[in-house]
């Protein structure tokens, strides 16, 4: 009977040791058993001098003209204009294609590589993003989650909350999306 207890204690001890070792490796410390140690990237504690907490366009490779109906093509999100909206705890990247949130990062929550935790990501091998829009009955051609949106207004409201207003119009129907972030909050009001 004592032999079974000894084996059980050995199994629990080894499990605890391996769990502690993996936790240390996850936190960026070297493994107790040798092997490859992680090489965390150097991160400066200084905030960039040009850091702005109001939306700003990132790029503008191709946007349809107002008279032209936006075409739904593969890769439209990758090539559309993007806007950044951020507060002290959340950074959002919003695509002009559908006004979809295609990137969301938590700048105060860092991974083992000292990079901000990513909630949403739109990459060729990983597409996780947030969409919203209108659903048309029948064959009505209305603005939806694939329409091209234009920046109407951006900045901070009277209470200091950063916001961005994007709009798309098709066949006399205007869809306007307003994204608002509150300081210190992870909630995105749409």
Per-residue pLDDT tens digits for 140-149: 788 888 888 9
Tokens of 153: 């207004």
pLDDT of residue 19: 94
Q: What is the pLDDT of residues 107-117, one digit of tens each?
A: 998 888 998 99
* Strand partners of residue 171: none
155: nearest Cα among 101, 84, 106: 84
pLDDT of residue 44: 45
Q: Which residue has the tokens 């234009």?
A: 150
The distance between the two most distant Cα atoms of the chain, rounded to a whole number of Å, is 84
Look at the alpha carbons of 62, 120, 187, 133 in this order and tell me if their dihedral is positive or negative: positive
pLDDT of residue 12: 93
SS3 assignment, position 128: strand
pTM metric for this prediction: 0.58
Hey, how many other C-beta atoms are within 10 angstroms of the C-beta on 169? 15
Task: In whole angstroms, give the CA distance from residue 129 to residue 145.
Answer: 12
Burial of residue 107, with CB atoms counted within 10 A of its CB: 0-12 exposed, 13-18 middle, 19 or more buried: middle
Residue 67 CB contacts under 8 Å (≥ 6 apart), including other chains: none
Residue 1 CB contacts under 8 Å (≥ 6 apart), including other chains: none
Q: What is the pairing mode between strands 162-170 and 150-156?
A: antiparallel
Task: In whole angstroms, give the CA distance from residue 26 to residue 139.
Answer: 52
pLDDT of residue 54: 55
- Do 115 and 41 form a contact (C-beta atoms < 8 A)? yes
Residues of the chain with pLDDT under 50: 38, 40-47, 52, 60-74
Tokens of 146: 């694939």
- Calculate what percentage of the chain has a pLDDT beyond 70: 77
Number of helical H runs and strand E runs in the chain: 2, 9
């Amino acid at each position: 009977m004592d032999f079974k207890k000894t084996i059980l204690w050995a199994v629990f001890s080894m499990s605890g040791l391996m769990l502690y070792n993996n936790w240390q490796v996850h936190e960026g410390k070297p493994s107790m058993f040798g092997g490859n140690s992680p090489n965390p990237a150097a991160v400066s504690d200084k905030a960039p001098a040009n850091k702005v907490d109001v939306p700003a366009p990132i790029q503008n490779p191709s946007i349809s003209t107002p008279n032209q109906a936006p075409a739904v093509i593969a890769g439209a999100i990758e090539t559309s204009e993007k806007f950044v909206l951020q507060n002290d705890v959340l950074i959002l990247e919003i695509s002009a294609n559908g006004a979809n949130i295609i990137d969301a990062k938590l700048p105060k929550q860092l991974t083992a590589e000292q990079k901000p935790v990513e909630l949403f990501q739109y990459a060729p091998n990983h597409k996780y993003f947030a969409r919203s829009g209108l659903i048309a009955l029948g064959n009505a051609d209305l603005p939806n989650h694939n329409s091209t949106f234009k920046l109407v207004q951006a900045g901070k409201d009277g209470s200091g909350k950063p916001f961005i207003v994007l709009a798309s119009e098709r066949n006399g129907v205007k869809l306007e999306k307003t994204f608002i972030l509150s300081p210190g909050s992870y909630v995105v009001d749409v």
